[in-house]
């Protein structure tokens, strides 16, 4: 198996967005009891095998929103990797940026969804931990309008300097740059990624992640820290509280309320938010409209099992926005 040249080619197809980050297979179990680890056996009523990881989720959703999306990352030369490639190809995502590790298996994640839709992960990063500077080709940036780092702190061999170089190269080509983050698995701390901030058009962490990096408790103060360190715009995801947004276009910042929606599985809601935000931004929308669309995409996403099965089209999300009620925003 090879990820090089598989699927449609990035430069030839004119990809709009390149998503870089975790590539794995999610094995989704539901429902899982809260006291799972104290039981000898627990029975799930449903199970799904779905390609996943932040880069994959974003690319899949962007494709459904009508964007030409590519994914860059690493998987193993195994049956799991072949399942991932097949699902991505069937969804129209360009897989020419995927590389194959000869040393590691493909990433795998057990997603345990509780009856209320909340979830826990047991993850094996696999090939993602083997993805380094030599695996990223500058040709992947040809013609793209946006580059998204699915999660800082997830790319062990690229975090910090490697990610900075990718984003700098993207900016030189006129692309917008976006980054989300994961928990600090390898203990880099904010010092390990602070150098990336000046290369970001948009930084989109969750509230808990932003609090960890900044040491602040309120979204406004968190955003101030990242803006001071060079990020052009900051969007802090607040879960069912919506989002806090601040940047040059909105120097005072604002809260954007989330939509009220039934919850089946919250897996990938943040990735759907980011994909929605990127798509709206590429449509020329401002911060407020982009945040509204992103909130709607995230709300639609939690209505089904899995990280990227909820959003089916841009029209679906726009219809949802016209009909759904809003929750209160929490700043």
Tens-digit pLDDT profile for residues 195-208? 999 999 999 999 99
- Classify strands 233-237 and 243-247 as parallel, antiparallel or unpaired: antiparallel
Contacts of 226 (CB under 8 A, 6+ apart): 197, 203, 210, 213, 214, 234
pLDDT of 324 over the 80 cut = yes
Mean pLDDT of 8-19: 69
Q: What is the dihedral of CA 111, 112, 115, 118, to 10 degrees?
A: -60
pLDDT band at 119 (very low <50, low <70, confident <90, very high): confident
pLDDT band at 15 (very low <50, low <70, confident <90, very high): very high
- When comparing pLDDT for 263 and 17, which is higher? 17
- When comparing pLDDT for 233 and 10, which is higher? 233
pLDDT of 102 over the 50 cut = yes
Cα torsion angle, 36, 40, 43, 46, sign: positive
pLDDT band at 308 (very low <50, low <70, confident <90, very high): confident
Say if CB 40 and CB 132 are below 8 A apart.
Answer: no
- pLDDT tens across 104-114, in order? 999 999 988 88
Which pLDDT score, from 0 to 100, does residue 12 have?
A: 43
- Give the Cα-Cα-Cα angle 267, 293, 308 (nearest 5 degrees): 30
pLDDT of 143 over the 50 cut = yes
SS3 161: helix
d(Cα 308, Cα 301) in Å, to the nearest integer?
A: 7
Among residues 206, 215, 224, the alpha carbon closest in space to that of 298 is found at 206
**Helices and strands (H, E) in the chain, number of each type:** 10, 13
For 174, left (φ over 0), alpha (ψ -120 to 50), or beta?
left
Cα torsion angle, 274, 30, 122, 135, sign: negative
Q: Rounded mean pLDDT of the chain?
A: 91
pLDDT of 5 over the 90 cut = no
- When comparing pLDDT for 330 and 137, which is higher? 137
pLDDT of 69 over the 70 cut = yes
Whether residue 31 is preceded by a cis peptide bond, meaning omega within 30 degrees of 0, is: yes
Say if CB 291 and CB 277 are below 8 A apart.
Answer: yes
Tokens linked to 21: 């980050």
Which pLDDT score, from 0 to 100, does residue 132 have?
A: 95
d(Cα 174, Cα 201) in Å, to the nearest integer?
A: 11
- Classify strands 107-113 and 119-124 as parallel, antiparallel or unpaired: antiparallel
pLDDT band at 4 (very low <50, low <70, confident <90, very high): very low
- pLDDT tens across 209-251, in order? 999 999 999 999 999 999 999 999 999 999 989 999 999 899 9
What DSSP designation does 138 have? G
Among residues 154, 170, 158, the alpha carbon closest in space to that of 205 is found at 154
pLDDT of 2 over the 80 cut = no
pLDDT of 259 over the 80 cut = yes
Domains, the chain, in order of start with CATH, read 10-22+54-108+126-323 (3.40.1190.20)
Which pLDDT score, from 0 to 100, does residue 116 have?
A: 85
pLDDT of 310 over the 90 cut = no
- pLDDT tens across 147-191, in order? 999 999 999 999 989 999 999 999 999 999 999 999 998 999 999
The DSSP secondary structure of 31-89, one letter per residue, reads: ---TTGGG-S----SEEEEEEESHHHHHHHHHHHTT--EEEEEEEESSHHHHHHHHHHH
Which pLDDT score, from 0 to 100, does residue 1 have?
A: 54
Which pLDDT score, from 0 to 100, does residue 328 have?
A: 60
Q: What are phi and psi of 143, to 5 degrees?
A: 80, -5
d(Cα 234, Cα 202) in Å, to the nearest integer?
A: 6
């Amino acid at each position: 198996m090879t990820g090089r040249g598989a699927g449609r080619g990035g430069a030839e197809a004119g990809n709009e967005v390149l998503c870089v980050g975790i590539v794995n297979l999610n094995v989704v179990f539901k429902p899982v009891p809260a006291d799972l680890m104290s039981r000898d056996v627990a029975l799930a009523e449903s199970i799904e095998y779905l390609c996943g990881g932040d880069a994959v989720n974003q690319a899949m959703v962007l494709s459904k929103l009508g964007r030409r999306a590519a994914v860059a990352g690493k998987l193993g030369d195994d049956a799991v990797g072949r399942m991932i490639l097949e699902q991505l190809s069937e969804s129209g995502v360009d897989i020419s940026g995927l590389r194959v590790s000869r040393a590691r298996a493909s990433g795998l994640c057990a997603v345990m969804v509780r009856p209320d839709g909340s979830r826990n992960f047991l993850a094996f990063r696999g090939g993602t931990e083997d993805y380094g500077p030599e695996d990223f080709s500058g040709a992947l940036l040809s013609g793209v309008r946006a580059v998204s780092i699915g999660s800082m702190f997830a790319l062990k061999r690229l975090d910090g300097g490697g990610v900075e170089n990718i984003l700098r190269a993207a900016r030189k080509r006129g692309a917008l740059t976006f980054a989300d983050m994961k928990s600090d698995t390898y203990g880099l701390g904010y010092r390990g990624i602070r150098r990336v901030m000046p290369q970001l058009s948009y930084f989109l962490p969750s509230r808990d992640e932003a609090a960890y990096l900044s040491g602040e408790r309120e979204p406004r103060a968190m955003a101030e820290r990242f803006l001071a360190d060079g990020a052009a715009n900051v969007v802090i995801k607040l879960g069912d509280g919506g989002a806090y947004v601040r940047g040059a276009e909105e120097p005072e910042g604002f809260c954007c309320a989330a939509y009220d929606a039934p919850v089946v599985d919250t897996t990938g809601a943040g990735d759907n938010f980011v994909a929605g935000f990127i798509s709206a931004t590429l449509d020329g929308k401002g911060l407020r409209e982009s945040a509204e669309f992103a909130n709607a995409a995230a709300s639609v996403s939690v209505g089904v099992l899995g990280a990227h099965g909820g959003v089916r089209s841009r029209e679906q999300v726009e219809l949802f926005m016209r009909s759904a009620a809003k929750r209160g925003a929490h700043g």
